[in-house]
């Protein structure tokens, strides 16, 4: 089977993949985007989930097909859609893909290797793709984090990460324990309770976060600066970087959206702040008997880990299969990137959460999509003018 040739292969069709594909098309760059459009959002986020983003968080690097433009096309009042539902944002993404003319091939990449003139990818249907440049925009699906010290205390196959447990109807009448105390833990608790769970417990190591609005407008100047001076964040003095990261922590982790509290302040939902899970065993009747470090004892049927995500590119099978993972420069699992999201292997780019170490924590969110797309596509366009743009 002959190979398909393209200037730019985009692996993944979530927000960063769609944004990059749209801008590449707008700049006249030949691209092939592969994946299931917004597949993680559709299958690994629960129905009824509400987003923390505002109506100004969009996917278009040119600022035309924005979320606000989508609302205008749908004749919707921006104030009336807050907080934005998962279903609403998925509809926006579909509208954006159509309006921006983004074509996505539904196949998946099973292997990515270097080739003489760039990279070669093998797709699940057997096709091969030769590309001068590759954007790995795979999102967070492979990076669900289960702390080793926690997993060591849990019976095998009796717990699930939040990204793998989004069908709450099967929890009706059951006793559930969620380990974790940030936004996803509390939102899963609210949704699980509303689906009819008998009990929902939340256990977390810290004080209960404050239920108050998070303010994100301060991110805009930082993202504008990234577009104006690529790489500025990682060149900051350590203290200044820490100050920005701490402010992000305060807004994103020390606060919970205020619309959550009325849904949690109910019989059947119990918070256990400043506690840790000390042990967990399965009883003869199949229930899980959980001991907390303060001596408290809980008996539950289901255990859910809201323990977040941790980037580790070694967990991407297609990079390992093609041998690229051994040649990538990694720092604690994250790729070392240049000012345009390019790894140490020329023509290989990593936007999204994988870029947060070098570009700031805000690139783990949709808000960073337009800036990442602009910087990546600018570098791809520049590589087209270079005498040789090999993948080695």
d(CA 359, CA 262): 36
Overall average pLDDT of the 132-157 stretch: 93
Claim to verify: residue 68 and residue 203 sit in the same structural domain: no
> Is residue 59 included in any domain, yes or no?
yes
Residue where a domain terminates, one of 289, 305, 321: 305
Overall domain count for the chain: 2
The pLDDT tens digits for 116-142 are: 889 999 999 999 999 999 999 999 999
pLDDT above 90: residue 390: no
Same structural domain for residues 320 and 292? no
CATH number at residue 203: 3.50.50.60
In a domain, 251, yes or no: no
226 within some domain: no
pLDDT at 392: 44
Percentage of the residues of the chain whose pLDDT score is greater than 90? 92
Mark whether 270 and 372 lie in a shared domain. no
**Has residue 389 been placed in a domain?**
no
Q: 72 and 123 share a domain? A: yes
pLDDT for 319 beyond 90: yes
Answer yes or no: do 20 and 86 share one domain: yes
> Residue 388 — pLDDT band, cuts 50, 70, 90?
low
Q: 287, 305, 323: which is the final residue of a domain? A: 305
Contacts of 218-224 with CB under 8 Å at 24 or more apart are 218/247, 219/362, 219/367, 222/360, 222/362, 223/362, 223/367, 223/368, 223/371
pLDDT in tens, 326-375: 999 999 999 999 999 999 999 999 999 999 999 999 999 999 999 999 99
- Beta-sheet pairing, 269-272 with 199-203: parallel
pLDDT tens track for 171-204: 999 999 999 999 999 999 999 999 999 999 999 9
Q: Is residue 242 part of a domain?
A: no
Q: What percent of the chain is predicted at pLDDT more than 70?
A: 98
Report pLDDT digits (tens) over 214-236: 999 999 999 999 999 998 998 89
Report whether 34 contacts 11 (CB < 8 A).
yes
| DSSP assignment of 138-162 | -TTGGGB---HHHHTTS-TTSEEEG
pLDDT-based confidence at residue 389 (cuts at 50, 70, 90): very low
Same domain? For 348 and 200 the reply is no
- Residue 246 belongs to a domain: no
CA distance 50 to 257: 10
What's the 3-state SS for 107-120? CCEEEEEEECCEEE
Contact yes or no for 46/162 (Cβ under 8 A): no
Tokens of 80: 């009336």
What local confidence, expressed as pLDDT, does residue 386 receive?
81
pLDDT tens column, 60-92: 999 999 999 999 999 999 999 999 999 999 999
Domain boundary among 305, 332, 364: 305
Do both 153 and 9 map to the same domain? no
Question: Are 301 and 323 contained in the same domain?
Answer: no
Residues 296 and 168 in one domain: yes
* 167-206: burial string, b at 16+ Cβ within 10 Å, e else: ebeebeebbbbbbbbbbbbbbbbbbbbebebebbbbbbee
pLDDT score, position 1:
64
Q: Which residue, among 135, 103, 102, has the nearest Cα to 118 in the 3D structure?
A: 135
Mean pLDDT, range 261-286, rounded to an integer = 96
Whether residue 103 sits in one domain with residue 42: yes
Kindly state whether residues 59 and 112 are assigned to the same domain. yes
Q: Are residues 315 and 297 in the same domain?
A: no
Query: Which residues form the domain of 339?
Result: 4-143+309-384
What pLDDT, on the 0 to 100 scale, is given for residue 385?
Answer: 87
Give the mean model confidence (pLDDT) for residues 244-256. Answer: 94
Instruction: Decide if 196 is inside a domain.
Output: yes
Q: What is the pLDDT of residues 24-42, one digit of tens each?
A: 999 999 999 999 999 999 9
- Tell me whether residue 124 is in a domain: yes
């Amino acid at each position: 089977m002959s190979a398909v040739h393209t200037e730019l292969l985009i692996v993944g069709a979530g927000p960063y993949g769609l944004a990059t594909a749209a801008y590449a098309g707008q700049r006249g760059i030949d691209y092939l985007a592969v994946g299931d459009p917004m597949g993680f959002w559709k299958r690994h986020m629960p129905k009824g989930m509400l987003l923390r983003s505002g109506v100004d968080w969009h996917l278009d690097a040119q600022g035309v097909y924005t979320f606000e433009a989508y609302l205008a096309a749908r004749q919707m009042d921006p104030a009336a859609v807050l907080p934005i539902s998962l279903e609403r944002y998925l509809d926006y993404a579909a509208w954006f893909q159509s309006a921006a003319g983004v074509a996505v091939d539904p196949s998946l990449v099973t292997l990515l290797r270097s080739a003489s003139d760039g990279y070669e990818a093998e797709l699940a249907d057997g096709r091969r793709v030769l590309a001068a440049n590759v954007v790995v925009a795979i999102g967070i699906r492979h990076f669900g984090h289960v702390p080793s010290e926690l997993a060591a205390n849990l019976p095998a196959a009796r717990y699930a990460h939040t990204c793998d447990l989004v069908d709450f109807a099967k929890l009706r009448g059951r006793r559930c324990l969620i380990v974790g105390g940030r936004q996803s833990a509390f939102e899963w608790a609210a949704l699980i309770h509303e689906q009819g769970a008998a009990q929902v417990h939340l256990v977390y190591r810290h004080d209960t976060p404050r239920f108050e609005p998070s303010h994100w407008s301060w991110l805009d100047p930082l993202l504008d600066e990234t577009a104006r001076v690529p790489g500025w964040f990682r060149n900051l003095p350590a203290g200044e970087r820490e100050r920005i990261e701490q402010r992000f922590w305060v807004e994103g982790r020390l606060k919970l959206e205020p619309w959550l509290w009325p849904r949690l302040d109910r019989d059947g939902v119990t918070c256990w702040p400043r506690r840790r899970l000390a042990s967990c065993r399965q009883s003869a009747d199949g229930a899980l008997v959980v001991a907390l470090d303060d001596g408290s004892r809980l008996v539950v049927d289901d255990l859910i880990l809201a323990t977040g995500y941790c980037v580790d590119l070694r967990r991407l099978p297609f990079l390992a299969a093609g041998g690229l993972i051994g040649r990538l420069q990694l720092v604690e699992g994250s790729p070392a990137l240049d000012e345009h999201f390019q790894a140490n292997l020329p023509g290989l780019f990593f936007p999204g959460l994988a870029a947060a170490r070098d570009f700031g924590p805000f690139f783990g969110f949709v808000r960073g999509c337009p800036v990442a797309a602009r910087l990546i596509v600018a570098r791809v366009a520049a590589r087209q003018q270079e005498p040789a743009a090999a993948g080695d």
